Amino acid sequence: MTTVPHWIGGSPVEAARYFPVVDPAFGKTVRQVAMADTQTVNSAVKMALTAYPTWRDMPPSKRVQVMYRFKMLLERDAEALCKLISEEHGKVLEDAMGELKRGIENVEYACGIPELLKGEYSHNAGPGIDTWSNHQPVGIVAGITPFNFPTMVPLWMFPIAIACGNCFILKPSEQVPSVAIKMAELLEEAGLPAGVFSVVQGDREAADALIEHSKVKALSFVGSTPVAKAIYERGASLGKRVQALGGAKNHAVILPDADLENAANTLIGAAYGSAGERCMAISVVVCVGNQTADVLVDKIAEKAKHLNIGPGTEPGLDMGALVNQAHRDRVADYIGQGESAGAVLRLDGRKHPLVENAPGYFMGATLFDHVTSAMRIYQDEIFGPVLCVVRVDDFDQAIELINAHQYGNGTCLFTRAGEAARRFTDEVEVGMVGINVPLPVPVAFHSFGGWKESLFGDLHAYGPDAVRFYTRRKAVSQRWPTESAQETAQFSFPSH
């Protein structure tokens, strides 16, 4: 059986310990992935420290030449990358391609780093004094990424980090390890020097080693809120710069004036795309008024019945398998909890034929109506194809409901009223907002991140915030007095 190695010093590195990588559509092991220990992480850091001085001092215009070539190689090998994503994660090929394209946008943004790193300059800021600021790389930085976006989330991180002059160590999820190695190979083909980018496969042992290593100066993480919070607190206590993105419970508010047919069509994709394994998935629909809810729930239920579900590598499907059996069972348990709590189960994904008859980890689309804020299915991030409908009397209640929730990642509003849309964007306590856009994931030249328990740290992922996160600002004040100038001691604080 093939193995997925680490990538350290520009070469694959095997290990003493391996973990099975399972194709979730068929429930079978397809390869084995190397598992890093502390020594493996130390080796990657050592190689990064060796490569860092030369890479840091390379002109940004030279560094981005690697990124230009890397972008073209990603596009060249897109089909092979998407097949790996689908085979290890379970998502359908079309969704994998969409993920890859959004990741490539971040490589394109990184190609503009010569402009993005330009500092500020003030001539004669003081008497004969010029002041300027510049961006300098942080050093050795690391990313710990989740299973649900094995290409896009790493591409949020390492292209901009590397373009800024840092060396980057990636620890991907051990459930989806192959595309990380494929991207490492493409970076080498693009001309990236050995040691600038490394991949250490593994579990918590590898993650802890990166967090604890004194030479790793910054950490980026995407995952569940409890882990994000723990990593943020531990990393910050060690003096590291940390951005840790956590969980979500994303609401879509439907006003009575909305185009309900179009809303139902877009919500189907936003709720059930990638089997709901997205931190930006819409998992709650808040309908203002019972009439709105009655019409919309009927439309969604009818459309969700006809979703094409199957192995993600087959063409023409809407939804693939969940990532593993334990997660499929967890989603099924939440459905049972919702039913017991009194929510109206309009569509039960546990009864889909593939759940009983297929060897993989499938779950059909599930739709609950009359959900209340006290129910676990409303409070918790289920991370599966489960959509909850909450009914409220007015727009005020809808905003209050969202603002009271612990998460504040993404939300959207469906309406034809500009006044309502403006009020919603101003008052809702959520980091990413869509108006008639169900998945308001910002483009690469903006930044991605939520509020409240969805993000720990001051800076969001990718875009302008990534430049700030992966660099340090340095301000320089310079004066060249004439030879005849006589300096005198000044004991007051300098001023203009």
Number of neighbours of residue 138 by Cβ within 10 angstroms: 19
Q: What are phi and psi of 246, to 5 degrees?
A: -110, -145
Residues in the chain: 496
Q: What is the pTM of this model?
A: 0.96
The string of DSSP codes covering 210-272 is HHH-TTEEEEEEES-HHHHHHHHHHHHHTT-EEEEE----EEEEE-TTS-HHHHHHHHHHHHH
List alpha helices for 27-59, DSSP H: 38-57
With 80 as the cut, is the pLDDT of residue 187 above it? yes
Question: Which listed residue (111, 164, 279, 388) is catalytic?
Answer: 279
3-246+454-476 folds as Aldehyde Dehydrogenase; Chain A, domain 1 (3.40.605)
- Cα 86 versus chain centre, distance: 18
With 90 as the cut, is the pLDDT of residue 482 above it? no
Question: Once rounded to an integer, what is the mean pLDDT over residues 89-114?
Answer: 97
| 352-398 pLDDT tens trace | 999 989 999 999 999 999 999 999 999 999 999 999 999 999 999 99
Confidence (pLDDT) at 76: 98
The terminus-to-terminus CA distance of the chain in angstroms comes to 71
Confidence (pLDDT) at 243: 97
Task: Compute the distance between CA of residue 115 and CA of residue 134 in angstroms, rounded to an integer.
Answer: 12
Question: Once rounded to an integer, what is the mean pLDDT over residues 73-90?
Answer: 98
On the question of a common fold for 3-246+454-476 and 250-435, the answer reads: no
| 295-326 pLDDT tens trace | 999 999 999 999 999 999 999 999 999 999 99
The model's confidence at residue 489, banded by pLDDT at 50, 70 and 90, is: confident
The mean-pLDDT minimum among 127-136, 220-229, 300-309 falls in: 127-136
With 70 as the cut, is the pLDDT of residue 35 above it? yes
Residue 17 is classified by DSSP as -
Residue (of 374, 282, 366, 376) closest to 338 by Cα position: 376
Percent of the chain with pLDDT over 90: 94
Task: Compute the distance between CA of residue 487 and CA of residue 421 in angstroms, rounded to an integer.
Answer: 62
Mean pLDDT of the residues in the chain: 96
The model's confidence at residue 496, banded by pLDDT at 50, 70 and 90, is: low
Say which CATH architecture domain 250-435 belongs to. Answer: 3-Layer(aba) Sandwich (3.40)
The model's confidence at residue 483, banded by pLDDT at 50, 70 and 90, is: confident
Structural domain spans, the chain: 3-246+454-476, 250-435
Q: Is 388 a catalytic residue?
A: no
